[in-house]
Structure 1
Amino acid sequence: MKKTVALISLLGSLACALPAHAQFAKPEDAIKYRKAGFTLMAAHFGRLGAMAQGKVPFDAKAAAENADVLAVVGKLPYTAFVEGSDKGETRAKPEIWKESAKFKEAADNNQAEVAKLVAAAKTGNLDNLKAAFGSAAPTCKACHDHFRKD
């Protein structure tokens, strides 16, 4: 039994270490995947933002639930910027691939701020949510401004 668990753990670790492009049969699949991930991110980020901005009443339980989803989906799209996925039905600018270090830095910055937003939402405190949202929103906009076609 221990050998089976160890083998499963090893195989899982190897699977996680494979290059991201191995996850997608075609570049179009990567584009669809990242679009879906960003759509989910936007929906749950937007719900938290609506509460932070007073557009909807603050609901601590809903904030925590949306934060839980955002914690997972906020990491997904970035694995789908693989070779060849710069062509096709995408709003991704070529700068993503030409300035990959800058894009990675922007993505990492966004994920760090989203992690703070998630933590703030889970406190059940509106002021914490407002502060964290105020820091996270510009990181989203920065990527849109530089790396997304309108």
Structure 2
Amino acid sequence: MKKMLVASLALLMASQAFAADPISQRKDVFKQYKPVVGAMGKMVKGDTPYNKDEFAKLATQLEQLSQQPWQYFPAGSNAGKTDAKPEIWSKPADWQKAIDNHKAATAKLKQVALAGDLAAIKTQFGATQQTCKACHKDFRKD
């Protein structure tokens, strides 16, 4: 019984430490992007059959994810531990513009996906990917 209590307490403390670590939190959100964008990309490229409902569901997930990681970039949260460039903190207006562009693109992709026009989806999916690439270029060490 005592061992279970100690193990439970250790688990609770570890989960609180994770919750207090913005680097881990933002990495966790970004890891969630990969399977969503990957599945969408396969449909857009024709590697898997296009399914309107599934694509719309994925687009909704992506739009929700696009709202999440930015809060986990507080000042001083990098300290050379990640691939985040210092420009995130030294050029906050540019950083915010990149975030806003990404959020707008994912919201538009969701709208286009709900309509189901594959040609329009392909165009907007490409535009959404460009917001990712632009942010990586300016704000991520590769």
Q: TM-score range by the shorter chain?
A: 0.7 to 0.9
1:87 equivalenced with 2:87 (yes/no): no
Q: TM-score normalized by structure 1?
A: 0.76
Q: How many residues align?
A: 127
Whole-Å separation in 2 of the counterparts to 1:39 and 1:109: 20
RMSD over aligned Cα atoms: 2.1
Code of the residue aligned with 1:60 in structure 2: it is: K
Q: 1:26 to 1:85 in 2, by over 3 A?
A: farther
Structure 1 unaligned regions, length at least 5:
1-23
- Report the CA distance between 1:94 and its aligned residue: 0.7
Whole-Å separation in 2 of the counterparts to 1:27 and 1:68: 25
Percent sequence identity over matched residues? 39
Q: 1:33 to 1:133 in 2, by over 3 A?
A: same
Whole-Å separation in 1 of the counterparts to 2:140 and 2:20: 17
What is residue 95 of structure 2 aligned with on the other side?
103
CA contact (8 A) 2:63 2:110 kept: yes
Whole-Å separation in 1 of the counterparts to 2:98 and 2:19: 22
Whole-Å separation in 2 of the counterparts to 1:28 and 1:87: 16
CA contact (8 A) 1:121 1:129 kept: yes
Structure 2 unaligned regions, length at least 5:
1-15
1:67 equivalenced with 2:59 (yes/no): yes
Code of the residue aligned with 2:22 in structure 1: it is: A
Out of 110, 115, 121, the residue aligned to residue 129 of structure 1 is 121
- Report the CA distance between 1:88 and its aligned residue: 5.3
